[in-house]
Structure 1
Amino acid sequence: MISPHPVVEELLAALTLDEKIALLHQHQPAIERLGLDAFHTGTEALHGLSWVGIATVFPQPVGLAATWDPGFLAEVGAAVATEVRAKHAQDPSLSLNVWAPVVNTLRHPLWGRGEEGYSEDPDLTAALAIGYTQGLRGDHPTVWKTVPTLKHFLAYGNETDRATTSSHLPPQALHEYELPAFVGPVAAGCVGAVMPSYNLVNGRPTHVSGELLQHLRDLAPEPIAYVSDAQAPSFLVDEQRYFDSHRQSHAAALRAGLDSFTDNSEASAPTIERVTAALEAGDITAADIDRAVRNLLIMRARTGELTGEDPYGVGPEQIDTPAHRALARDAVARSVVVLENDGSLPLEAPRTIAVVGPFAAHLVHDWYSGTPPYMSLIGDAVRERFPDAEVRVVSGADRIALRSRTHGRYLAVAGDDVAVAATAPEATASTHFDLEDWGDDTSSLRAVASGLLLSGAERFLRAGARRIGEWVAQETFRLVETDGGVRIQHLGSKGWLRVQRDTLALVADGTEKTAEVFDLELVRGGLAEVSAACEGADVAIVAIGNDPHVAGRETEDRPDMRVAERSRALWHAAAAGAGSAVLTVVSSYPYELGDLAAQANAIVWLSHGGQELGHGLVDVLSGDREPVGRLPQTWWASAGDAGELFDYDVVGSAMTYRYANARPAYGLGHGLSYSRVEYDSIELSATAIDAPPLTTAHTPARPAGSGGSLVACVTIANTGARPVDELVTVYAAAPDLAVPAPRTRLAGWARVELAPGERRAVEVDIDPGVLAVWDSADGAFRVQPGTYELRAGRSASEPLVSVTLLVAGAAPGARADARIDAAAFHAQSGLLTSDRTRERGQSVEVAPTREGGWARYDRVDLAGATGIRLLAARRSLPSTAPAEVRVEARSGDAWIPVTDAIAAPDTDRYGWTSLEAALTSTAPGVTDLRVRLSGAARVAELELICAEERA
């Protein structure tokens, strides 16, 4: 694809080969003779401009997704792009290539980075990403406000060993679940770059998965660039050990389609040396380099940099504008989801309000948050809204003093110096710390005198941090009871706290044996304080949740879905004393609420909302705003219902709301209004249709107004006394079919405002293609004939009205090709998809934890076949089972052997060898084949041998 920007081709022709290679690193040098300034890829803009100072902070992406409103996300994206341009006007080195949004689906609630994604549903994810990227891109026909980069391609949803784990993606899971979230925004033409993920997919690192990268690139209406994740090019050798040398790995990445190497921070020399060596060795060509440089120059040209165009005219002053503050508050209010309500909400002029919990007077950031210009806290916002009420605000943290047993003195903060040492002979205000328990043996200590956190960012402990943060959190500790006292471990360094002998300074360089033992004296009990604050209160707002830097974040998956024990105790203390109790969950992800939900008068959830958290939440709790937020992901009753964190085969393993049998606590789309909405009926514009033709293009569910040949008309009524903004969702439920279809899947949605007493027929556009599944026999999406049910209701798990849809069509015929890609199976057990070579193709092999397994291939025509040819090899992992392949055919309900055992060749992993075996018994005709593998056997292809070929 040639650049539509003539200036790019002129520059490409004028650049020397050495200059081109230098441009392949993230930090591109200035080339003064051609008027090119220094440039680098990547400004973080996930939910606001990040890491470069003051900027508007919007709710986390999962919170923005609770709006279910792509148009609103476009408004947020436009505001973020304006602030990126404004900061660029202050500092031209700030890149207009933004690394946002994250479109990895929220497949599993234990993923540590779930806060960064939008939804469990790939089509909803794609729609919201299109909205946000359209806002980031801007509306000028040629000059983009910023150039968005999608992250992280592909099948990335675990932090544990994220650079070395391989995501097993069978064909259905790949095409139906993982690809659509990326395909939508890329095909919409509002994305200029894509970032491959750290992990491997089907045995091959994504950074060298050329077939996947090219597939996505082919769907883009204009060129896109691939930019690597940080240090991922070196990981190909250093972590993944997939290549023997960096020369080989960099060459393979370039050939696969990677354009920019984010490697070794600002040091570009290693990248230049490796690419140059690859070129000299003949591993790559000058054309490979030209392709990459062209894509990067196109990205820069889109911003107007290369031609000097600037149709936006954004000045440095357009950061933290009144309009952006209002939008941030609006975003928080829209993100609030009411999970339960017995009528206690909205609050009716309470006389006494207790606001308790770790977020009562506290606001936190995540790794990709910017620096907010101000912070609206929940307690403060309640006081503002209810000035005549008595508002009691307490955190529930224990206030403690720590006395060194060795030295007989208390830890104290040394005034403005913020250094901490065991210097105080008595417990005074300077020795008091608030101990916040975040669960999972993780706590923080906040100096009461200054309000600053104890931090171990240096060897010497200082109470100088405003928040838990940084890549490795330095503000968290583990307290271990011992001999009636406590030892304390600094979790960032893993060192244990001790007190130096002469200086009495507190340091974090001890071992568990040399750690200081402290007497922990309780100055004020947090639970008792909560009980006192809530006793007799008309209402208690109990604000619990997570800190995004603790027990679930980038590099760290969540250990479980349980609410921290301290927060549970705090909740029970609050609920016991107040007239009504509102459980307010401020979190990046779902929880198991269990008995907490049973005790609550109301439950609301919102993500960490940034600077306007307090105002936005209280706007809804007070009834000044109607609750419109709806869950973008399932809240399972337990983590076990969600399936295995490392299992990406959502189809075969029955995961996510689409396939799981477990009933969730709160389903996708759940959220209550303050008015009762009745669902009367659902009718279709046609109750019988013909199955559409096969297609290789995914058909997504879309919001109303997007078009579709089928219209679902859902009649709803607002039977309450308040206006309502209702999310009307339509889901498709499939019958049992030859190729498994989702039990429930989103088919379309609409938002509609209803006045009290209003009844309305809401039209939801549906494309019948949303019923399609990926049929490996045809390598295409197929809508199978059958009787489907279309449902509407309050969530995916709570349908209220339904209607049937008959899809007519012929049953699928036999495979047309006698050669079958072994990875194109319909079902499997005990196998994994793996790489055929280091750069291309797929195969299947036995999973490392198994001795054998099988893959099934449907609708194979055995008429005239006399044998089977296999392309086989042997993996390097040892196995006690023989490395053999057997082929079976379905006969009625039984499977019968049709070949003798075929020994895998004695080769290395990529030593593919053609093997033949005669068919020993089978009846001619169309049937299903099952290939059984044992031990170290690998298979890449199987092919029927007919009698004519043998003759």
Structure 2
Amino acid sequence: MQEKERAKQRAKELVSQMTVEEMASQLRYDAPAIERLGIPAYNWWNEGLHGVARAGTATVFPQAIGLAATFDTQLIHRTADIIATEARAKYNAAVKEGDRDIYKGLTLWSPNINIFRDPRWGRGHETYGEDPFLTAALGVAFVKGLQGDGEYLKCAACAKHFAVHSGPEALRHEFDAQASEKDMEETYLPAFKELVTKAGVEGVMGAYNRVNGEPACASPSLQKRLRGEWKFDGYFVSDCWAIRDFHEHHMVTKTAPESAALAIKNGCDLNCGNTYLHLLTALREGLIEEADIRQAAERVMTTRFRLGLFDRTEYDNIPYSVVACEEHREAALQAARESMVLLKNNGILPLKASEKVAVIGPNADSRDVLLGNYNGTPKKYTTVLEGIYERVGMERVLYSQGCHLYKEKVENLAMVQDRLSEAVTTAKESDVVILCLGLDAGLEGEEGDAGNAYASGDKADLELPAAQRKLLDAILAVGKPVIVVSMTGSAINLSRAQKSADAVIQAWYPGGEGGRAVAELIYGDYSPSGKLPVTFYAKTDDLPPFTDYSMKNRTYRYFQGTPLYPFGFGLSYTTFTYEACIREHCLYVKVANTGNMDSGEVVQVYAENRLCGFTRIFIPAGTVQTTSFPLEEMNLKTEKRLLVGGIGYQPEKLLSISLY
């Protein structure tokens, strides 16, 4: 706390020496140098969602939704610490070369802690899933790992997008997300509150949309929560070009100076975009006061002081050699292993290495599917096909792309389904098929990403592309054992695979060498232990309209139907038994590994219909582990019982513990 107060005082003293023009210039994301005061140029815009992004080589961890499937706060903390280490190394190297460009700074606009309320949302894979408790816990761990515990911030984390933001992407510049007070308190705000009050997150980014009529980047109601109730004292940044939307799309202002004035007077310190070029005009027109500009300048300069950008720090000597080093890549591989979710297994897994396998599908040898979005460039790629080659040798593997990821043919001059006969042949020639289906970040992502539905980023429904559905049917019809590997960042309809395939694996976007983790799982080098951070629904018809922000009939907490796979679900290669009791204001859970394989397990505790505790433990075969959960940390209200287990939210199958 003392270092923060010193940083505030130093910022105040430095800003006092600036002209109003200079102060205003520092409120742009691409802040120019002020040479007379010894202030170098600084570009605030950098990304670190699952690795340092968009600036060349870096360790690429599984996409955030995959990290969420680990349910492992320690792993998330270590992941973020590695990201910060590499960000510092790249920053140190860039500054030595006089490079202060975008994606080179230490203010990382991560994590994305919006709630993945609807599986159609294209950016949902950037989040930690649908549950506020899980999102908050993983988000706190990520922020603490990214910012470190030294005298200076290692990097500055940023909680985004504040708040009530989860599509539709095509409407985000004009959309008004209407949320009840109940849903605000129970769903949309808790994670942001936790990151501010428990993790001390340095930055918060506003969303594009309006929230209950107010633009999120200029919302008195949201700022009352953020700076009033939660005492946030970091910097607030707009989403990129969101302030321009005030007058161009939301129509809450008429001019750019009016938009700039509305934003800065309602707590937005930094503009990702160019609307703050109009701040001086707003000042001349009497729309704002110099004190508004000064306050924002002091806040952003405080962050730069907290990062040690004007001092020597303990991070200055981090060498470039740490970037994508073996230790970091091994950590990413371990994260991928923990993220894998086994959804079905009729006994076929793990495979024997002696069997001849056909590896088929558009994602089998895809590098793109490893990466997700907001990604760096891996030092080494390992696709699923390459991972299987490494594990059993090329001679025992047949390969066919099977189909294009989403088009009806691979070669432009060919007939439709031009890879289908090859795929069927390889299946017939094999003992077992590994069928790699799914999407990639070009099909589900942010507005404007190439290849997605109408450039909106969202999915139209929960179905695989038509070409892949035809491929799945054709391969199942061959009659050989089929293992479906689903590589997506969101829930899709896997009903056909669940009914007819022999095994189903949800592999997400698993990072640079994620294909190795898939191969290791298939051949039993480790037991799967990932759990679903989202509900998998059977069809879109089960859901309310995408634009409806009410939580009614959404996520496991409010869904009234029968899910295909429940939140928290995930199988193992071993078996577990649970015992639980409450004593001395604490829930004690004893888990026995009754199978023949060492395995991780995620112990989940639900207060009737909401997750209120979880922990990941490792249990060698034939042994017992006991873990505990203080009741006071569960925020218990009127609930009468706790539900305990590792099989996800399936109340009738979980251990029920009375609270009275």
Q: 5 Å matches for 1:649-664?
A: 649-650=550-551, 653-664=552-563
Deviation at 1:228, TM superposition (A): 0.9
Counterpart of 1:18 in structure 2 is: 21
> Quick check: 1:271 aligned with 2:276?
yes
Q: What is the DSSP-based 3-state SS (H/G/I as helix, E as strand, rest coil) of the residue aligned with 1:156?
A: coil
Q: 5 Å matches for 1:630-645?
A: 630-645=531-546
Counterpart of 1:945 in structure 2 is: none
Tell me how far apart the structure 1 counterparts of residues 77 and 41 of structure 2 sit (CA, whole Å). Answer: 30
Tell me how far apart the structure 1 counterparts of residues 445 and 241 of structure 2 sit (CA, whole Å). Answer: 22
Tell me how far apart the structure 1 counterparts of residues 536 and 644 of structure 2 sit (CA, whole Å). Answer: 20
Counterpart of 1:462 in structure 2 is: none
Identity %: 31
Contact 1:664 1:797 in 2 (8 A): no
> Quick check: 1:666 aligned with 2:565?
yes
Q: 5 Å matches for 1:116-135?
A: 116-135=126-145
Tell me how far apart the structure 2 counterparts of residues 610 and 716 of structure 1 sit (CA, whole Å). Answer: 31
In structure 1, runs of 5+ residues without a counterpart are 265-269, 398-435, 447-517, 687-709, 734-743, 772-782, 807-951
> Quick check: 1:548 aligned with 2:441?
yes
Tell me how far apart the structure 1 counterparts of residues 410 and 376 of structure 2 sit (CA, whole Å). Answer: 24
Distance 1:713 1:259, change over 3 A: same
Moved over 4 A (4+): 219-222, 442-446
Tell me how far apart the structure 2 counterparts of residues 768 and 625 of structure 1 sit (CA, whole Å). Answer: 32
2:66 to 60, 63, 73: 63
Contact 1:747 1:770 in 2 (8 A): yes
Deviation at 1:553, TM superposition (A): 4.0
Q: What is the DSSP-based 3-state SS (H/G/I as helix, E as strand, rest coil) of the residue aligned with 2:354?
A: coil
Q: Deviations over 1:64-98 (max 9, x none)?
A: 11110111011111111111112112212121111
> Quick check: 1:191 aligned with 2:201?
yes
Tell me how far apart the structure 2 counterparts of residues 549 and 55 of structure 1 sit (CA, whole Å). Answer: 21
> Quick check: 1:254 aligned with 2:242?
no
Q: What is the DSSP-based 3-state SS (H/G/I as helix, E as strand, rest coil) of the residue aligned with 1:72?
A: helix
> Quick check: 1:147 aligned with 2:156?
yes
Distance 1:715 1:642, change over 3 A: farther
Q: 5 Å matches for 1:572-587?
A: 572-577=473-478, 579-587=480-488
Contact 2:594 2:622 in 1 (8 A): yes
Counterpart of 1:486 in structure 2 is: none
Q: 5 Å matches for 1:516-665?
A: 520-522=413-415, 525-550=418-443, 553-554=446-447, 555-577=456-478, 579-650=480-551, 653-665=552-564
Q: 5 Å matches for 1:406-485?
A: 436-438=404-406, 442=407
> Quick check: 1:805 aligned with 2:659?
yes
Contact 1:748 1:766 in 2 (8 A): no
Counterpart of 1:308 in structure 2 is: 312
Distance 1:787 1:52, change over 3 A: closer
Q: What is the DSSP-based 3-state SS (H/G/I as helix, E as strand, rest coil) of the residue aligned with 1:98?
A: coil
Distance 1:310 1:755, change over 3 A: closer
> Quick check: 1:715 aligned with 2:590?
yes
Q: Deviations over 1:867-926 (max 9, x none)?
A: xxxxxxxxxxxxxxxxxxxxxxxxxxxxxxxxxxxxxxxxxxxxxxxxxxxxxxxxxxxx
Deviation at 1:289, TM superposition (A): 1.4
Q: What is the DSSP-based 3-state SS (H/G/I as helix, E as strand, rest coil) of the residue aligned with 2:441?
A: coil
Distance 1:789 1:366, change over 3 A: closer
Tell me how far apart the structure 2 counterparts of residues 59 and 190 of structure 1 sit (CA, whole Å). Answer: 25
Counterpart of 1:32 in structure 2 is: 35
1:755 to 602, 605, 620: 620
Tell me how far apart the structure 1 counterparts of residues 218 and 341 of structure 2 sit (CA, whole Å). Answer: 41
Tell me how far apart the structure 2 counterparts of residues 614 and 392 of structure 1 sit (CA, whole Å). Answer: 16
Deviation at 1:336, TM superposition (A): 0.6
Query: Which deviates more from structure 2 when the two are superposed, residues 9-18 or residues 288-297?
Result: 9-18
Distance 1:793 1:318, change over 3 A: closer
- Paired residues, what number? 638
Tell me how far apart the structure 2 counterparts of residues 437 and 222 of structure 1 sit (CA, whole Å). Answer: 44
Tell me how far apart the structure 2 counterparts of residues 750 and 661 of structure 1 sit (CA, whole Å). Answer: 27
Deviation at 1:802, TM superposition (A): 0.4
Distance 1:527 1:98, change over 3 A: same
Counterpart of 1:87 in structure 2 is: 90
Supply the AA of the counterpart residue of 2:239. Answer: D
Tell me how far apart the structure 2 counterparts of residues 14 and 104 of structure 1 sit (CA, whole Å). Answer: 39
1:352 to 351, 356, 362: 356
Q: Deviations over 1:279-335 (max 9, x none)?
A: 223322222112101110011111111223344521222212111111121121111
Counterpart of 2:114 in structure 1 is: 104
> Quick check: 1:50 aligned with 2:38?
no
Q: Deviations over 1:696-721 (max 9, x none)?
A: xxxxxxxxxxxxxx422233322211
Contact 1:7 1:306 in 2 (8 A): no
2:213 to 203, 221, 225: 203
Contact 1:586 1:608 in 2 (8 A): yes
Deviation at 1:790, TM superposition (A): 3.6
Tell me how far apart the structure 1 counterparts of residues 156 and 384 of structure 2 sit (CA, whole Å). Answer: 35
Q: What is the DSSP-based 3-state SS (H/G/I as helix, E as strand, rest coil) of the residue aligned with 1:654?
A: coil
1:161 to 171, 178, 187: 171
Which protein is richer in helix relative to its size?
A: 2
Counterpart of 2:649 in structure 1 is: 796
Distance 1:437 1:387, change over 3 A: closer
Tell me how far apart the structure 2 counterparts of residues 54 and 761 of structure 1 sit (CA, whole Å). Answer: 41
Contact 2:382 2:515 in 1 (8 A): yes
TM-score by length of 1: 0.65
Distance 1:589 1:523, change over 3 A: closer
In structure 2, runs of 5+ residues without a counterpart are 448-455
Deviation at 1:658, TM superposition (A): 0.8
1:380 to 369, 378, 386: 386
Deviation at 1:527, TM superposition (A): 1.6
Supply the AA of the counterpart residue of 1:11. Answer: L
Tell me how far apart the structure 1 counterparts of residues 408 and 477 of structure 2 sit (CA, whole Å). Answer: 25
TM-score by length of 2: 0.92
Deviation at 1:219, TM superposition (A): 5.7
Q: 5 Å matches for 1:262-411?
A: 262-264=272-274, 271-272=276-277, 274-311=278-315, 313-364=317-368, 365-387=371-393, 390-397=396-403
Contact 2:643 2:654 in 1 (8 A): no
Q: Could you say which structure has the greater relative contact order, defined with CA pairs below 8 angstroms and 6 or more residues apart?
A: 2
Q: What is the DSSP-based 3-state SS (H/G/I as helix, E as strand, rest coil) of the residue aligned with 1:44?
A: coil
Contact 2:351 2:522 in 1 (8 A): yes
Supply the AA of the counterpart residue of 1:386. Answer: V
Q: Deviations over 1:651-701 (max 9, x none)?
A: xx232211121121111111111001123x332227xxxxxxxxxxxxxxx
Tell me how far apart the structure 1 counterparts of residues 458 and 612 of structure 2 sit (CA, whole Å). Answer: 31
